[in-house]
Amino acid sequence: MNPYELLDKYWGYPEFRGSQLQIIQAVLNRRDVLALLPTGAGKSLCYQLPALAADGMCIVVSPLIALIQDQVASLKRKGIKALALTGGLPEEEVINLLDNCQFGNYKFLYLSPERLQQPMVQERISQLHVNLLAIDEAHCISQWGNDFRPAYLHCAVLRTLQPAAPVIALTATATKEVAAEIVENLGLSNSITFKDSFLRDNIAYQVLREEDKAYRLKHWCSREGGSGIVYVRTRRLAEEVSAMLHKSGSPSAFFHGGLSRKEKEDRLKGWMRSKPGIMVATNAFGMGVDKADVRWVVHYQIPESIENYFQEAGRAGRDGLPATALLLCNPADESQLKNQFLGTLPDIPFLKKLYKNLNNYFQISYGTGENSRYNFHFHEFCEAYKLNAILSYNGLQVLDQQSVIALSQNFKRKTRLQFVASKAQVWSYLEKNPTLAPTIQLLLRTYGGLFDYETKINTLLLSKKAGIPEDAVLNLLEKLHADGMVTYQAHHGDLDITFLVPREDDRTIHHFAPQVRKHQQVRSGKLRMMLQYVNDHKHCRTRQLLGYFGEKMPSDCGKCDVCLRRKRISRAGIKPVEAEILALLKEGSRSSRAIIAALDREEGHVLKALQLLLETGQIGITAKNEYTLN
């Protein structure tokens, strides 16, 4: 079949979009390709269709399990044989899946960059009949990219395993520096780059400064309706905001990395059917999810880079209909963001100190320790050396990325707890178990919201505060769980760390110090650019975003908050709003918020009308700061 026949048969589309056809033809001509396409432009089709058109199968490297699962499920619904090598699979199952690839006439094998590094997987890939190598979210390769993942640097091994197969790298967020590094690191030869405009002219970008963001979000969700995403930065905030929206009459679900696989699948399926229509999520949500009718995306906190913001905002309006990307912020957000991302970046002196402390903690002598493995209690380590936990955690991640150490897969897990009994039942329980009361009350004082959502707790910290051994705290939590008071997920004492190189102290860190400095400079620069965007109220938002990616726009968008602010509201246009306000105030005094909520009008128009009514003396303000008729 030719490309158009395949497009119609499997996707049901009569025409290609943007550069899709040119990209597909280049791949079919066995050219290496770098495809820079905006979010929602159909990147996956650019490698899936040519792979179907040729004999053999396509190897796809992708960063997220959720993204891989969504792509495989979508292909299966089309009747296309595809499978995935995700984490957590036993070795025997991995072998069976690779056998299926080799002998089962499969067309697609999806895997993570970490899985690609396994010698067994590499050996089997070299034996497959491969027609195409696809690297999705290719910006993860670049240290200039917003989601740098060192494992991606090893994707070039595919070229040695399958030297005859062309390579296609795809991303929706790449500056010139990122694009150049992708080409270099993947060794794309005789390659051709396709770049479609990143312009999404159906999206209105809005930045709104608001002290009371909770009120603003509740008002937004109740007014806008439809399907939307609210992005936050932490798991806890995702749960809190979702609960807040529920209470205000806007049903929502939350999504973050702490959910089980089944919970993630169930919530994603429900949201895809708009039941509920609102998803409150951390930034891992949405990548590769094909939901076209998302009408709005709200960022409840400032993202750490324009790349992150642009990609997440671009999940709105994929159907081409009008959509809005709203960023809520206040001055506290800016300082919090700087502290969180700049204040917790480990510099070279700290990494040297951390590495020495690690070796001393495990009593590793100079010149030894290679491939030695130890159980690792992170909080106890930080306590012993008086180290900041967040800074130390980030430092360990750097050492892991640079292959100085290897952290166990469960290193990121935390002990999590939530009270499932009512408060009355807990008080009754304390009366029956008075010896447990002091520690339980300390637990409730230390962690707010334990009755409302699952919370990460630090058992070592609790033991220090209570003045009892940590084992006693753990036994208490186990008893609370056994007695039906709490749900309790314990992940303690089972962490491990492997030292991959002999101890050489400062010399070990010197080997990769330039790369660390470069990466931190990049992160700092990206954060500054993001804050510059937030604080620039003179230039069109869409122009600012496209300019960041090296693209010029001939005229302003006319729909962002900057452009709308420039448009003067005529006195005649305000008259109907004034009439509606006066009619509303005949029923009684109201605050500006209540007036805005009651009227189906632009907020700026309502505020302008209130100002004019005050100036003409038709309304006044009460002692309760409410508007009333004069």
CB count in 10 Å sphere of residue 608: 18
Cβ density class 504-542: b for 16+ within 10 Å, e for less: beeebbeebeeebeebbebbeebbeebbebbeeeeebbb
Long-range CB pairs of 317-322 (<8 Å, 24+ gap) are 317/40, 317/200, 317/202, 317/203, 318/39, 318/40, 318/290, 318/291, 318/292, 318/293, 318/294, 319/292, 319/293, 320/202, 321/202, 321/293, 321/295, 322/202, 322/204
Q: Whose CA is closest to 593, among 579, 610, 576?
A: 610
Q: Whose CA is closest to 230, among 329, 326, 323?
A: 326
Residue entry with tokens 């990143």: 198
Give strand ranges (E) for 28-107: 33-36, 57-61, 82-85
* C-alpha to C-alpha distance for 309 and 592, rounded to whole angstroms: 31
| 604 alpha-carbon distance from chain centroid | 32
- The vertex-272 CA angle with 271 and 274, nearest 5°, equals 55
Say if strands 627-629 and 619-621 run parallel, antiparallel, or are unpaired: antiparallel
Q: What was the pLDDT predicted at 88?
A: 63
- Give burial (CB, 10 Å; 0-12/13-18/19+) of 97: buried
Count of positions (residues) in the chain: 630
Residue 405 corresponds to which tokens in the numbers above? Answer: 């150490």
* C-alpha to C-alpha distance for 455 and 447, rounded to whole angstroms: 8
* C-alpha to C-alpha distance for 196 and 22, rounded to whole angstroms: 11
Q: What was the pLDDT predicted at 145?
A: 60
Residue 555 corresponds to which tokens in the numbers above? Answer: 């005229």
The class of domain 3-195 in CATH terms is alpha beta
109 bridge partner residues: 59, 83
231 bridge partner residues: 281, 299
Q: Which helix (H) or strand (E) holds 395?
A: helix 389-401
Q: What three-state secondary structure class fits 279?
A: strand
- Cα Rg, the chain, nearest whole Å: 28
Q: Please enumerate in sequence order all residues whose Cβ is within 8 A of that of 216, keeping only pairs 6 or more positions apart, or say none.
A: 208, 210, 328
Q: What was the pLDDT predicted at 87?
A: 64
CB count in 10 Å sphere of residue 437: 14
Q: What was the pLDDT predicted at 141?
A: 83
CATH number for the domain whose boundaries are 568-629: 1.10.10.10
Long-range CB pairs of 525-531 (<8 Å, 24+ gap) are 526/146, 526/304, 526/305, 526/306, 526/307, 527/304, 527/305, 527/337, 527/338, 527/341, 527/342, 529/305, 529/306, 530/302, 530/303, 530/304, 530/305, 530/306, 530/309, 531/302, 531/334, 531/337
DSSP string over 35-53: EE--TTS-TTHHHHHHHHH
* Alpha-carbon distance values, 28 to 3, 5, 14, 615 (Å): 10, 15, 20, 69
627 bridge partner residues: 590, 621
Q: What was the pLDDT predicted at 79?
A: 94
Residue 139 corresponds to which tokens in the numbers above? Answer: 């910006």
Q: What three-state secondary structure class fits 33?
A: strand
Q: Whose CA is closest to 579, among 537, 609, 611?
A: 609
Could you list the mean pLDDT of each consecutive 10-residue stretch along the chain, which spans 630 residues? 91 92 95 89 92 94 80 92 81 87 91 86 92 91 68 86 94 85 88 91 93 91 90 90 92 85 84 91 73 93 91 90 94 84 86 96 93 85 90 89 76 73 90 90 85 79 81 86 85 71 94 87 89 94 93 90 79 83 90 85 82 86 86
DSSP string over 543-571: HHHHHHTT---SS--S-SHHHHHHSPPPH
Q: What was the pLDDT predicted at 32?
A: 95
DSSP assigned state of 169: E
The topology under which CATH files domain 342-412+495-522 is Arc Repressor Mutant, subunit A (1.10.10)
CATH number for the domain whose boundaries are 203-338: 3.40.50.300
Residue 425 corresponds to which tokens in the numbers above? Answer: 């039942």
Residue 168 corresponds to which tokens in the numbers above? Answer: 């296609």
Q: Which helix (H) or strand (E) holds 607?
A: helix 603-615
pTM of the complete model beyond 0.75: no
Cβ density class 109-136: b for 16+ within 10 Å, e for less: bbbbbbbbeeeebeebbeebebbbbbbb
